[in-house]
Structure 1
Amino acid sequence: MEKTNEATVDWKTYDPDETTFRRKELSSAVDAADLGCSLYELSPGMCSWPYHYHTANEEALYVLAGKGKLKAETGLVELTAGDYVTLPANESGGHRVLNDSEEPLRYLAISTMNEPDVTVYPEMDKFGVFVGSPPGGRGERTLEGYYHIDDETEYWEE
């Protein structure tokens, strides 16, 4: 058994434009190998990671405080404290969290930590490949990168 308290885990700030949020990697604090868990805090008017879905990792969100919206494959879904949302490892699990309120939004993001994983970003026409350690993983990756969906190459070089 491993134990930590979120008060002892440092915040990491991500700040590319409207995708500004703070994150505490709780699973890293206890060296969890197969389960990821992070505490997120979004300030008013901010968003989480760009809209995406995973092909190998299921995720879930549990809202601790505040309110906002989840951009999902089916449209915008209201989020309030106490809500629990599951996000399958396929296109129907597409998601992005938005804080359109006047107060901070705090939630837990929990995920399986399977690899390899391909993460698809439909609105950016990109995908990411992660081999050796999953997205959010702490291990060394043997292959990783982001690519445009429309890029094409031949299997056999001519």
Structure 2
Amino acid sequence: METFNLFHDATDVGPDGSEPEGYLCRAARLGPKLGASRLGMSVYDLPPGEAICPYHFEWTDEEWLVVVTGRPTLRTPEGEHRLEPGDVACFPAGPDGAHYVRNDDEAPARVAMVSTKNEFGIAEYPDSDKVGVWAGDAHYMLRRSGHLDYWEGER
């Protein structure tokens, strides 16, 4: 049986050069490593000034945040909250679950994100007017305001 220690094991996925400044963190994707099929977990090491990903919410998955070390800042629809080790937050599917995690502290932070897993995913990014769609190997990032009529282009 595979295990991963939240406090001591290393993150093994680093920035690949496509991320802008402010999103340079390392991660460990635990679902595949541990043989999970219905839940996913990623552990993120956040240097000072860095965030996991832009402010967003999922339409298809519920996500949970667990603060392992450090004091990251959590932004939700209610505002910003400074967290501490041991804090847990749940982000339900839909707009009420919007979230953004960044490290405003001078010390590194480690957090874990747990989520349900589906064959497809849909996420909205309210600050940048984007919608992301994932299905198998397909991935689309679209403008939310670019709505088309169902019948457009059909004969």
Residue 55 (structure 1) aligns with: 59
Q: TM-score of the superposition, structure 1-length normalised?
A: 0.86
Is structure 2 residue 125 aligned with structure 1 residue 121? yes
- Structure 1, gaps ≥5 residues long: 133-140
Is structure 2 residue 12 aligned with structure 1 residue 11? yes
Percent identity between matched residues is 33
Instruction: Name the SS for the 1:12 alignment partner.
Output: coil
Q: TM-score of the superposition, structure 2-length normalised?
A: 0.87
1:8-157 to 2 correspondence within 5 Å? 11-14=12-15, 15-132=19-136, 141=137, 143-156=138-151, 157=153
Shift of 1:150: 1.0
Tell me which amino acid in the other structure corresponds to 1:48: I
Note the alpha carbon deviations across 1:22-71, whole angstroms, 9 max, x for none.
10111121231111011111001111100000001000011111102101
Note the alpha carbon deviations across 1:109-133, whole angstroms, 9 max, x for none.
100002332100011100011223x
Cα distance in 1 for partners of 2:52, 2:34 equals 24
Shift of 1:146: 0.7
Cα distance in 2 for partners of 1:152, 1:10 equals 39
Instruction: Name the SS for the 2:115 alignment partner.
Output: strand
> How many residue pairs align between the two structures?
148
Aligned residues: CA RMSD: 1.7
Name the CA shift for 1:38/1:91 in 2 (closer, same or farther; >3 Å). Answer: same
Higher strand share: 1
Cα distance in 2 for partners of 1:72, 1:23 equals 22
Contact 2:11-2:45 within 8 A present in 1 as well: no
- Structure 2, gaps ≥5 residues long: none
Shift of 1:10: 5.0
Cα distance in 1 for partners of 2:79, 2:53 equals 17
